[in-house]
């Protein structure tokens, strides 16, 4: 008999293919052949345009089958699932026949290219990825429901209802030592299938694996290769994915996550897998493995030159071998639980506690409102919350899979075990506990286990004796619903029953896992379906979606930290916490001056939002509360006027405008390498090469640049550097005056924030200010980064330098990341602006912003944060200097107080910037729980500007982590930094 499944790739005449493709699809250009089992695929790089994928189908694929594929593609698109567009011929057709050298006719199609990579190339499959894929496949199945097509009944080797026949007929192709195992497993699987008759049929893709799903640069997943589309069993679509995951990971727990994702997705779509489908799933997985195994070898025999088939052969055998050995009944029990069903057909779990149905879920997640105001740091918080919940309900539940904020450690050095692998049921002590299913009860030390087949439920906090139950070592059978003990008292008046599930005899998991451990990778066995309580969605799934969501919405120009950023959803003091319950020490947040989630600020702003938040033209108290407080901190009584704005960029912009209005001039002298903001004027005086590499070529004619006063690595160093840099300002001002348009202003950060806290050399600002004033200009201090007490020694950078500016720009710290900034200046200068019109910015100084601004200043004063910055900053610098004695990479510690820059150099003489090392250190420090970023023009300075609540313990944590990372770096050869280093970033 002719076996319809033995299809070698057709021989083609490439010249002819090219001519045909050019004529019908307009696809000239270069052709590169891509791998395929039985078709010919070419990547065509077009002479002009986007290029395409050209496919010469095997001759068995008729035009009707191409139309079936097109119908499927359309359904996918209608359901919001991307799939490459079929290009049309000049006659508007989706395929065109081509005659092959052997006289047969084949269909030629062309597809638009997808700019992305297959999931198989992009990422290893972990539990979250598997769950996501399962959901995706669920959507694909749903998209094709009720689709009819006359050509959908296809006899192809991949159509799984035919698998037993395909395996039997191709078995001889396998190497001899593999045949028996393959045949036996396929027969067993086929026997299981024979007993099932409720297997819904529909058209499916038939090959939805990580090889056939691509992800593009904006995070969109694409379904490719519709070559195996056919009418089949619906469940076969999931079986193909599960087989693929087993082949890649060999981990049934991960495969179960795909089943979970699929089941949840189809439930949302309004249908559920039938019991027969759940029974059929595993046999189909095994059969898929067997088909892959036999077909790989047969393909090689009929098409020995097919490298694509050759390369895949061992992987395909692995799919089979990793599935065939597992005990059918035990696996089905796990798959059923993953699908949210009882582990046996027809089984209904008895409630463990009689009053369980009215249980209340306690939210211990990172964003839980019950844990605000630092409540999560209390050691007794879980029992406190349980007690509160039990005042309102007989039973309280803490969920499986939740990253519990209550277990986040403020010691950031290693991830704490926060992820619950257990379910906790809280209740009064002494309450009877019932067996949820019939099984065997055994005692393992303090723990009692109930086992049925491959399913084991472990109880911690269960007293069997108290209910008169004897649990012998060899176990005793119990039936579903029987009392198996009582809940032990955990703390006075409170009992806690903790339950974990063990799958198929696996070793018990600890009750909590840490981010990044094998549980995070797989996702341990979840007891929730047995207990009838909800599980917590996996935060890793959410995190990945969040990364894609952000990329989709923001495009490429928006900056963000880290290649693979954690999802930070809570802060506290100088600590940031991600959704997996990992805490980090925040070293970069000068915006959050008074620390994260400061209750006083949250209360004040929250209260104001309840009262009023409106545009700032109304009269209300908060406006003056803020501006008066700011003026109270002004560095000189001559600075007597404040205009609130929304951001640092606006503050600088307004400062420049004020100077221009007051002097009636345009020209501004600015120091190089600075960053002052993104608005037109602020950007014009910004030349930081990191922020804008071509800044120097594009400054407007009113901007005049002088060297950054950096006595560490600039042109002037050592004694006299301050005067030398100031002379540049003086010379420039004089030139401008001579040319008949003297300077309106000189702008500079009083401490060079962008350079990493470099303090200008002695006498610089005094000299520069005097020079610009001599020529009728004004001095602008951009204190957006360094002002507000952070420098410790003074509230303002200019104060530290012994100068009084004419205009000060502030923001960042001013609102603790609430959008408020200000310009502080003299009345006469503001009056000059009035001549040009009034100043108004809707939300600048609006009630809530102004309250934020006033509260921040109060907190800085009341909590002595400037003093803290002075003290802790000095210790910090000392400790880094100590490290520098041992680590030559540390070239200098710049700055003052808690505005510091650790400059890293490859050589202390040449000062060659250690750029790659700095980037690597920042990424690596994240693993140590420390968030720090590179700064400066050269990106070789670690910027250290933590919340001003940063304490001595935090210094210890940073120094220990930094030292460990420096030591690790020292062990790497310089050469290895140059190579493989880039990829490591
Ligand atoms: N000036 C300086 C010195 C800055 O560092 C920044 C921001 N990094 C700005 C102005 C602009 O502030 P914003 O981002 O609030 O607009």
Residue 696: its pLDDT value, please?
87
| Kind plus residue range of the DSSP H or E element containing 503 | strand 494-503
Residue 213 tokens read as: 């799903």
Asked if 499 contacts 422 with a C-beta cutoff of 8 angstroms, the reply is: yes
Residue 48: its pLDDT value, please?
66
- Give the mean pLDDT of 909-922: 96
Distance (angstroms) between ligand 1 centre and the Cα of 408 equals: 33
β-pairing, 668-671 with 745-748? parallel
Residue 14 tokens read as: 């490439």
Distance (angstroms) between ligand 1 centre and the Cα of 960 equals: 31
Cα torsion 466, 468, 471, 472 to 10°: value is 130
Ligand 1, atom nearest to 812 Cα: 15
- Give the mean pLDDT of 268-276: 95
pLDDT digits (tens, 9 = 90+) for 465-480: 988 888 888 899 999 9
Between CA 297 and CA 309 the distance in angstroms is: 8
Distance (angstroms) between ligand 1 centre and the Cα of 579 equals: 29
Give the three-state DSSP class for 943.
strand
Give the three-state DSSP class for 59.
coil
- Give the mean pLDDT of 187-206: 95
pLDDT digits (tens, 9 = 90+) for 99-117: 999 999 999 999 999 989 9
Asked if 137 contacts 76 with a C-beta cutoff of 8 angstroms, the reply is: no
β-pairing, 930-931 with 583-586? parallel
Q: Ligand 1: which of 645, 649, 680, 943 to mutate, judged by most atoms within 8 Å of the beta carbon?
A: 649
Decide if pLDDT at 4 tops 80.
Answer: no
Q: Is 675 in the pocket of ligand 1 (CB under 6 A)?
A: yes
Residue 981: its pLDDT value, please?
47
Distance (angstroms) between ligand 1 centre and the Cα of 315 equals: 53
Decide if pLDDT at 450 tops 70.
Answer: yes
Ligand 1, atom nearest to 678 Cα: 16
Closest alpha carbon to 656 in 592, 599, 607, 703: 703
Q: Furthest-apart CA pair in the chain: how many Å?
A: 103
β-pairing, 417-420 with 489-491? unpaired
Q: Is 598 in the pocket of ligand 1 (CB under 6 A)?
A: no
Decide if pLDDT at 983 tops 50.
Answer: no
pLDDT digits (tens, 9 = 90+) for 316-332: 898 999 999 899 999 99
Residue 985: its pLDDT value, please?
40
Residue 980: its pLDDT value, please?
44
Q: Is 756 in the pocket of ligand 1 (CB under 6 A)?
A: no
- Give the mean pLDDT of 667-685: 97
Residue 250: its pLDDT value, please?
93
Between CA 635 and CA 627 the distance in angstroms is: 14
Q: What are phi and psi of 172, to 5 degrees?
A: -60, -15
Give the three-state DSSP class for 594.
coil
Q: Ligand 1: which of 590, 670, 675, 686 to mutate, judged by most atoms within 8 Å of the beta carbon?
A: 675
Q: Ligand 1: which of 679, 781, 784 to mutate, judged by most atoms within 8 Å of the beta carbon?
A: 784
Sign of torsion, CA 679 684 686 689? positive
Give the three-state DSSP class for 940.
coil
Q: Ligand 1: which of 645, 692, 785 to mutate, judged by most atoms within 8 Å of the beta carbon?
A: 785
Between CA 938 and CA 752 the distance in angstroms is: 14
Between CA 207 and CA 529 the distance in angstroms is: 30
C-alpha dist (Å) from residue 618 to 478, 612, 824, 840: 74, 11, 21, 12
Asked if 727 contacts 767 with a C-beta cutoff of 8 angstroms, the reply is: yes
pLDDT digits (tens, 9 = 90+) for 211-241: 999 998 888 899 999 999 999 999 999 999 9
Protein residue with least CA distance to atom 5, ligand 1: 785
Mean pLDDT of the chain: 93
- Give the mean pLDDT of 498-502: 96
Decide if pLDDT at 766 tops 80.
Answer: yes
| Residue whose pair of structure tokens reads 């955990």 in the numeric block | 490
Protein residue with least CA distance to atom 14, ligand 1: 648
Q: Is 753 in the pocket of ligand 1 (CB under 6 A)?
A: yes
Between CA 871 and CA 964 the distance in angstroms is: 25
SS3 percent helix, strand, coil of the chain, rounded to 5, is 40, 20, 40
Q: Is 749 in the pocket of ligand 1 (CB under 6 A)?
A: yes
**Percentage of the chain modeled with pLDDT above 90:** 81
Whole-structure pTM value: 0.91
Which residue stretches of 127-220 are H helix? 127-143, 163-170, 176-194
Decide if pLDDT at 2 tops 80.
Answer: no
Higher pLDDT, 980 or 883: 883
pLDDT digits (tens, 9 = 90+) for 701-753: 999 999 999 999 999 999 999 999 999 999 999 999 999 999 999 999 999 99
pLDDT digits (tens, 9 = 90+) for 29-71: 889 998 888 899 999 987 666 789 999 999 999 999 999 999 9
Q: List, edge to edge, every strand of the sheet that includes 105-112.
A: 30-34, 40-45, 52-56, 105-112, 96-99
Distance (angstroms) between ligand 1 centre and the Cα of 925 equals: 25
pLDDT band at 545 (very low <50, low <70, confident <90, very high): confident
| Residue whose pair of structure tokens reads 């994915």 in the numeric block | 241
pLDDT digits (tens, 9 = 90+) for 199-217: 999 999 999 999 999 998 8
Between CA 233 and CA 280 the distance in angstroms is: 10
Give the three-state DSSP class for 87.
coil
pLDDT band at 984 (very low <50, low <70, confident <90, very high): very low
Between CA 271 and CA 264 the distance in angstroms is: 10
**In the Cβ-directed half-sphere of 606, how many Cα atoms lie within 13 Å?**
7
Between CA 503 and CA 454 the distance in angstroms is: 6
Between CA 556 and CA 734 the distance in angstroms is: 43
Ligand 1, atom nearest to 650 Cα: 16
C-alpha dist (Å) from residue 5 to 86, 197, 294, 298: 26, 26, 11, 10
**For the range 804-807, what are the long-range contacts, defined as Cβ-Cβ under 8 Å and sequence gap of 24 or more?**
804/635, 804/636, 804/638, 804/639, 805/635, 805/639, 805/750, 805/769, 805/779, 805/780, 805/781, 806/659, 806/745, 806/778, 806/779, 806/780, 807/655, 807/658, 807/659, 807/745, 807/778, 807/779, 807/780, 807/781
Q: Is 677 in the pocket of ligand 1 (CB under 6 A)?
A: yes
Give the three-state DSSP class for 813.
helix
State the CB neighbour count (10 A cutoff) for residue 696.
Answer: 11
User: What DSSP character marks residue 695?
Assistant: G
- Give the mean pLDDT of 245-270: 95
- Give the mean pLDDT of 483-510: 93
- Give the mean pLDDT of 564-576: 94
Q: What is the DSSP string of 869-902?
A: HHHHHHHHHHHHHHHHHH-TTEEEEEEETTEEEE
pLDDT digits (tens, 9 = 90+) for 619-640: 999 999 999 999 999 999 999 9
Asked if 798 contacts 783 with a C-beta cutoff of 8 angstroms, the reply is: yes
Q: Is 652 in the pocket of ligand 1 (CB under 6 A)?
A: yes
Distance (angstroms) between ligand 1 centre and the Cα of 215 equals: 36
Residue 103 Rama label (left phi>0; alpha psi -120 to 50; beta): left
Residue 743: its pLDDT value, please?
98
Between CA 360 and CA 853 the distance in angstroms is: 40
- Give the mean pLDDT of 309-322: 87
Distance (angstroms) between ligand 1 centre and the Cα of 336 equals: 55
pLDDT band at 298 (very low <50, low <70, confident <90, very high): confident
Distance (angstroms) between ligand 1 centre and the Cα of 749 equals: 11
Distance (angstroms) between ligand 1 centre and the Cα of 813 equals: 11
Q: Is 676 in the pocket of ligand 1 (CB under 6 A)?
A: yes
pLDDT band at 521 (very low <50, low <70, confident <90, very high): confident
Q: Is 750 in the pocket of ligand 1 (CB under 6 A)?
A: no
Between CA 406 and CA 401 the distance in angstroms is: 14
Residue 766 tokens read as: 């005094």
β-pairing, 483-487 with 432-434? antiparallel
Distance (angstroms) between ligand 1 centre and the Cα of 676 equals: 5
β-pairing, 890-896 with 899-904? antiparallel
Asked if 651 contacts 784 with a C-beta cutoff of 8 angstroms, the reply is: yes
């Amino acid at each position: 008999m002719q076996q319809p499944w033995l299809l070698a790739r057709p021989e083609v005449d490439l010249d002819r293919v090219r001519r045909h493709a050019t004529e019908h699809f307009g696809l000239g250009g270069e052709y590169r052949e891509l791998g395929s089992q039985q078709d010919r695929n070419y990547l065509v790089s077009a002479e002009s345009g986007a290029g395409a994928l050209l496919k010469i189908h095997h001759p068995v694929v008729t035009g009707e089958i191409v139309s079936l594929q097109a119908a499927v593609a359309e359904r996918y698109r209608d359901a919001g699932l991307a799939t490459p567009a079929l290009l049309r011929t000049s006659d508007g057709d989706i395929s065109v026949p081509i005659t092959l050298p052997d006289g047969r006719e084949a269909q030629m199609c062309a597809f638009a290219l997808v700019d992305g990579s297959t999931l198989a190339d992009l990422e290893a499959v972990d539990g979250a990825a598997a769950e996501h894929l399962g959901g995706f496949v669920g959507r694909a199945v749903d998209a094709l429901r009720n689709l009819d097509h006359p050509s959908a009944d296809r006899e192809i080797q991949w159509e799984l209802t035919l698998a037993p026949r395909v395996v039997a007929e191709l078995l001889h192709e396998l190497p001899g030592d593999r045949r028996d195992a393959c045949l036996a497993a396929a027969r067993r699987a086929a026997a299981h299938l024979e007993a099932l008759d409720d297997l819904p049929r529909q058209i499916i893709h038939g090959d939805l694996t990580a090889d056939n799903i691509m992800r593009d640069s904006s995070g969109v997943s694409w379904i490719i290769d519709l070559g195996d589309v056919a009418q089949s069993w619906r469940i076969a679509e999931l079986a193909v994915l599960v087989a693929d995951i087993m082949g890649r990971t060999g981990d049934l727990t991960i495969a179960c996550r795909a089943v979970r994702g699929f089941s949840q997705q189809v439930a949302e779509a309004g249908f559920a897998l039938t019991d027969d489908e759940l029974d059929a799933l595993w046999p189909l997985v095994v059969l898929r493995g067997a088909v892959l195994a036999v077909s790989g070898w047969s393909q090689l025999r009929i098409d020995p030159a097919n490298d694509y088939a050759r390369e895949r052969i061992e992987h395909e055998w692995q799919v089979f071998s990793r599935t065939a050995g597992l005990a059918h009944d035990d696996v089905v029990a796990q798959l059923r639980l993953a699908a949210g069903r009882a582990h046996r057909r027809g089984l209904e779990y008895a409630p463990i506690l009689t009053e369980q149905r009215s249980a209340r879920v306690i939210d211990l997640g990172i964003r839980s409102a019950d844990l605000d105001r630092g409540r999560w740091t209390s050691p007794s918080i879980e029992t406190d919350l349980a007690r509160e919940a039990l005042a309102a309900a007989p039973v309280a539940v803490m969920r499986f899979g939740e990253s519990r904020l209550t277990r986040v450690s403020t010691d950031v050095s290693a991830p704490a075990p926060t992820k619950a692998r257990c379910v906790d049921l809280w209740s009064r002590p002494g309450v009877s506990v019932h067996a949820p299913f019939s099984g065997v009860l055994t005692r393992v030390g303090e723990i009692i286990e109930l086992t049925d087949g491959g399913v084991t439920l472990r109880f911690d906090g269960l007293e069997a004796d108290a209910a008169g139950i004897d649990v012998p070592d060899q176990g005793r059978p119990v039936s579903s619903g029987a009392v198996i003990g009582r809940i032990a008292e955990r703390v006075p008046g409170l009992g806690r029953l903790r339950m974990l599930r063990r799958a198929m005899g696996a070793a018990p998991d600890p009750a909590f896992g840490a981010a990044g451990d094998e549980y995070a990778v797989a996702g341990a066995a979840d007891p929730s379906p047995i207990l009838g309580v909800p599980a917590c969605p996996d935060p890793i799934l959410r995190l990945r979606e969040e990364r894609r969501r952000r990329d989709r919405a923001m495009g490429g120009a928006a900056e963000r930290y880290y290649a693979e950023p954690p999802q930070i959803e809570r802060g506290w003091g100088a600590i940031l916490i991600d959704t997996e319950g990992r805490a980090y020490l925040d070293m970069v947040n000068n915006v959050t001056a008074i620390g994260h989630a400061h209750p006083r600020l949250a209360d004040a702003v929250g209260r104001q939002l309840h009262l009023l938040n409106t545009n700032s033209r109304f009269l209300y108290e908060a406006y003056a509360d803020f501006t008066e407080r700011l003026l109270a901190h002004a560095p000189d009584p001559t600075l007597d006027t404040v205009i609130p704005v929304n951001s640092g960029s606006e503050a600088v912009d307004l400062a420049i405008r004020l100077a221009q209005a007051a002097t009636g001039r345009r020209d501004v002298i600015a120091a190089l390498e600075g960053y002052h903001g993104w608005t037109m004027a602020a950007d014009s005086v910004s030349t930081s090469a990191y922020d804008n590499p071509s800044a120097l070529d594009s400054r407007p004619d009113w901007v005049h640049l002088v060297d950054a006063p950096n006595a560490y690595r600039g042109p002037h160093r050592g004694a006299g550097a301050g005067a030398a840099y100031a002379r540049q300002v003086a010379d420039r001002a004089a030139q401008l005056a001579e040319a008949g348009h003297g300077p309106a202003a000189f702008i500079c950060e009083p401490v060079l924030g962008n350079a990493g806290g470099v303090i200008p050399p002695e006498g610089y600002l005094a000299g520069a200010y005097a020079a610009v004033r001599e020529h009728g200009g004004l001095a602008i201090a951009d204190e957006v980064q360094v002002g507000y007490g952070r420098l410790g020694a003074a509230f303002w950078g200019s104060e530290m330098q012994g100068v009084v500016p004419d205009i000060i720009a502030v923001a960042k710290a001013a609102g603790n990341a609430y959008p408020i900034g200000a310009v502080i200046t003299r009345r006469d200068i503001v009056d000059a602006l009035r001549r040009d019109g009034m100043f108004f910015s809707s939300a600048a100084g609006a009630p809530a912003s102004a309250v934020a601004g006033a509260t921040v200043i109060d907190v800085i004063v009341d909590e002595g944060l400037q003093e803290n910055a002075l003290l802790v900053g000095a210790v910090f610098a000392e400790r880094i200097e100590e490290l520098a004695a041992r680590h030559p990479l540390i070239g200098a510690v710049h700055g003052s107080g808690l505005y510091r820059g650790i400059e890293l150099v490859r050589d202390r003489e040449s000062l060659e910037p250690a750029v790659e090392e700095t980037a690597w250190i920042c990424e690596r420090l994240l693993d140590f729980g420390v968030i720090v970023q590179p700064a400066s023009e050269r990106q070789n300075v670690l910027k250290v500007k933590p919340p001003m609540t940063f304490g001595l313990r935090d210094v210890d944590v940073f120094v220990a982590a930094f030292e460990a990372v420096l030591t690790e770096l020292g062990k790497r050869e310089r050469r290895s930094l140059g190579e493989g280093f880039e990829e490591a970033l």
